[in-house]
Amino acid sequence: MSPEQKALIRESWLKVAPMADAAARLFYDRLFELDEATRPLFKTTDLAEQRRKLIQALTMVVQGLDHLEALVPTIADLGRRHAQFGVTNAHYETVGAALLWTLEQGLGSGWTPEVKVAWSGAYALLADVMRTAASESASPPAHSAHREHHRRPSAGGLT
């Protein structure tokens, strides 16, 4: 992701953040409209709390754009938790579409082709990390005991 794209994401998020709860409401309404099968995933969820978590996660990502590698463990954990709730690969496409649509609604004329590309790229990166972590947690670790036994020490003998 280029510095320009990171700047576009930050600038556009500053415009959406003041209407965060309304944007989160739009997001979930759109998600359920695009894929009614996602609604049961939230049947026992406090949607007000879920909206808060969505905005919190997006804010964390926007603030961490310059150090995305530091966010990978948190995002991967999020992917594993989502898998436990029944989220599938197909849901990531729907969530991405709902997110981009929501941003477009919130930004109005500020939703330019460049902003769309920037947000699309950021979402794709996050979704890839989450999907990978979810698929790895779904399958048993291959030869984990074998790897542990044959692991080489790193520099200084620390692993």
Read off the pLDDT of residues 77-88 as tens digits, 9 standing for 90 and up.
988 988 787 787
- The answer, yes or no, to whether residue 110 has pLDDT greater than 70, is yes
Q: Enter the pTM of the model.
A: 0.81
Question: What pLDDT is stored for residue 151 in this prediction?
Answer: 36
Can you tell me the mean pLDDT for 98-124?
96
Can you tell me the mean pLDDT for 11-40?
94
Spans of all domains in the chain: 3-138
Question: What pLDDT is stored for residue 118 in this prediction?
Answer: 97
Determine the distance from the C-alpha atom of residue 124 to the mean position of all C-alpha atoms in its chain, rounded to a whole number.
Answer: 8
- The answer, yes or no, to whether residue 33 has pLDDT greater than 50, is yes
> What is the fold of 3-138?
Globin-like (1.10.490)
What is the C-alpha to C-alpha distance for residues 126 and 144, in angstroms, rounded to an integer? 26
Determine the distance from the C-alpha atom of residue 15 to the mean position of all C-alpha atoms in its chain, rounded to a whole number.
Answer: 19
Give the pLDDT band of residue 41 (cuts 50, 70, 90). Answer: confident
CB atoms within 10 A of CB 6: 17
Can you tell me the mean pLDDT for 125-141?
80
* Nearest to 59, CA basis, from 122, 151, 1, 105: 122
Can you tell me the mean pLDDT for 70-94?
86
